[in-house]
């Protein structure tokens, strides 16, 4: 399961690590998960490709999680359609056949992981919403009794439900740093836009949490990213995926314990057990069994949330 595909071919067995050369297109950016391509005939637009690369502790691992990029694209598309009547997005289509000037030879490799999108002016704030104490939020509360700028009652435990959904924004940097909403508003640069972003984020969270509850899942926390297109606020990047959100099985949430999550925590837990790794590149090779269990969790939450798996993907 280790290695990188360098042609247009795709394989669920190997996974898709990306970095391919597409004739006529420039690989403008290569992130931890996504490749971004630009075409000279289409200014103001970009092709985003969700690979199967996986990062943990800010290190990109040598092994991919097969079909993970397709899951992220499929889940994002599901949620964007759920809110399309009131929340616009930058994305144009995820249909490879509708992406202009994309060679047909690359359609199979990119199907299910490609998003043709307008380039919005990014708002440099990550809007993080939390309904439970988990992850960095739990660590902050355990150390200070607060959730950054928010006062919290005494006696809460890991996995406790918060008295209300709380907004804990961060900067949009290589390593995101917590900021107050006042600081976030200053970065956004317009008080009306900031208030609208705040209101839209809570509405998105509320609707998603309700849908999740109907499916036996808890939406623990998530982040949203916004941009501006012709003066209009739009959603950009991934939305409510198992990478940008934390989901728990509702029947396994116990205060004081760590519920199983539908994300890469299986890999992270294995890496934490490697005492001789100092969390700098390269990461140790991940056992096949760990990768397979992680893939199964991504597919499971994808099917729970959307009612289906990405085209061409089987469990």
Locate 67 and state its tokens: 């079909």
Show me where the domains of the chain are located: 26-119, 122-275
Write out the DSSP string of 84-119: TTT--BSEEE--GGGSTT--GGGHHHHTTTEEEEE-
Q: If you average pLDDT over residues 104-116, what whole number do you get?
A: 97
pLDDT score, position 176: 82
* pLDDT reading at 11 higher than 80: no
Could you give the 3-state DSSP secondary structure of residue 129?
Answer: strand
pLDDT-derived band at 13, boundaries 50, 70, 90: low
pLDDT score, position 228: 98
Tens digits of per-residue pLDDT, 282-296?
A: 999 999 999 999 999
| Cα–Cα distance for residue pair 136/171, rounded to 1 Å | 15
pTM exceeds 0.85: yes
CATH number, span 122-275: 3.30.470.20
| Cα–Cα distance for residue pair 103/29, rounded to 1 Å | 20
* Mean pLDDT of the chain, nearest integer: 94
pLDDT score, position 4: 36
pLDDT score, position 14: 82
User: 7-16, 139-148, 223-232, 280-289 — which is least confidently predicted?
Assistant: 7-16
For the 26-119 domain, the top CATH level (class) is alpha beta
pLDDT score, position 46: 98
Q: Can you list the pairs that 148-151 forms with residues at least 24 positions away whose Cβ atoms lie under 8 Å?
A: 148/178, 148/180, 149/180, 149/181
């Amino acid at each position: 399961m280790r290695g990188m595909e360098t042609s247009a071919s795709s394989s669920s067995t190997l996974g898709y690590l990306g970095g391919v050369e597409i004739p006529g297109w420039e690989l403008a950016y290569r992130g931890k998960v996504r490749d971004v391509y630009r075409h000279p005939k289409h200014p103001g637009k970009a092709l985003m490709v969700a690979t199967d690369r996986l990062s943990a502790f800010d290190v990109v691992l040598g092994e991919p999680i097969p079909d993970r990029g397709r899951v992220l694209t499929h889940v994002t598309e599901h949620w964007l359609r759920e809110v399309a009547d009131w929340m616009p997005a930058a994305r144009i289509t995820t249909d490879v056949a509708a992406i202009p000037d994309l060679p047909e030879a690359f359609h199979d490799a990119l199907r299910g992981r490609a998003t043709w999108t307008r380039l919005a002016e990014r708002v440099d704030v990550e809007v993080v919403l939390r309904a439970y104490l988990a992850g960095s939020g739990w660590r902050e509360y355990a150390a200070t009794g607060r959730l950054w700028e928010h006062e919290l009652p005494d006696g809460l435990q890991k996995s406790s439900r918060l008295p209300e959904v709380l907004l804990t924004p961060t900067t949009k940097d290589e390593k995101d740093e917590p900021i107050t909403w006042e600081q976030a508003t200053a970065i956004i640069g317009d008080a009306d836009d900031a208030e609208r972003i705040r209101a839209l984020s809570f509405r998105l969270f509320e609707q998603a949490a309700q849908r999740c509850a109907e499916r036996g899942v808890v939406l623990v926390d998530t982040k949203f990213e916004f941009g501006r297109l012709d003066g209009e606020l739009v959603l950009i990047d991934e939305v409510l995926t198992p990478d940008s959100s934390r989901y728990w099985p509702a029947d396994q949430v116990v205060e004081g314990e760590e519920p199983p999550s539908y994300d890469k925590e299986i890999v992270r837990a294995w890496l934490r057990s490697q005492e001789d790794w100092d969390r700098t590149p390269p990461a140790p090779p991940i056992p096949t069994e760990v990768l397979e269990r992680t893939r199964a969790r991504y597919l499971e939450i994808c099917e729970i949330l959307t009612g289906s798996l990405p085209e061409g993907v089987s469990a």
